[in-house]
Amino acid sequence: MKLVKLSGLIVLLCAVSLFSTGIATAALEDWIFVDLEPFSNTKLVKHEWWTLNPGDSTLSRLPIDKVDEFEGPDGKVEFKIIDGAIVVFGTNAAKWPKAVNDIVVEGQAKFVYFLHATGWEQNGVPSYVFVMNYRDGKKEELEMISGFNSDDWCHDDAALQDDNSVWGWVMKEGGPCGHAGLITTKWENPRPDIWIETIDILSLELGSVPIIPAITLGEATLDVDPVGKLSVTWGSLKDSRGF
């Protein structure tokens, strides 16, 4: 019995060492989906996303409540689609918030992929911004410019100048234009070894009304809480070893 208890204690001490030094972390994943549901403020099915009034929208044809592949600038990108999205302020639809802050990420990522578009547009100037907030208090920003890396959702035939942005999804039916699309933009993280805690979406209060149905992390790992993991390890050992 003493030998069993001793071996259990050795396993526990190894676990403590691994978690305290940070060696034990989540495995690198091709895709990790940022959970937008707690921040979603519009609906895609049986609603006009830009007003929230009952009605039809091309975006209702998205693969709702599924994970699916979308076109990306250098291959397919997976996004998780819900019956909802984040919409922020534009002067053409002023009911929406001017910022949606603290979208939880809590992970490391080499790339962040945004699925997005706008209702209306403001060509040639930034009209909304994605802000990545790091654990060390620093920030990085990605400006979104109509005609460059963003566009009106009904302009799905328009060329984008940004090499990191493509029309990721296009459907030739549905209201109000009879066609529409969403853009996939890839952002390469200049600080891939630092945890991204949260993402903010900020309107620059021009005519464009941004909609963001999904965000995906590429080549990413989520945060591991050593204290939580340690308590689970200790409980498991205690139950299985009887000490």
Of 143, 79, 89, the C-alpha closest to 118 is 89
pTM for the whole thing? 0.83
In words, the CATH class of domain 26-223 is mainly beta
- How far apart are alpha carbons 233 and 238 in whole angstroms? 9
Q: For 46-60, write each residue's pLDDT tens digit.
A: 999 999 999 999 999
Domain ranges, ordered by start, for the chain:
1-25+224-243, 26-223
Q: For 159-178, write each residue's pLDDT tens digit.
A: 999 999 999 999 999 999 99
Q: Is residue 227 within 8 Å of 104, Cβ to Cβ? A: no
Local confidence band at 224 (pLDDT 50, 70, 90 cut-offs): low
Local confidence band at 150 (pLDDT 50, 70, 90 cut-offs): very high
- How far apart are alpha carbons 209 and 89 in whole angstroms? 6
Q: For 72-84, write each residue's pLDDT tens digit.
A: 999 999 999 999 9
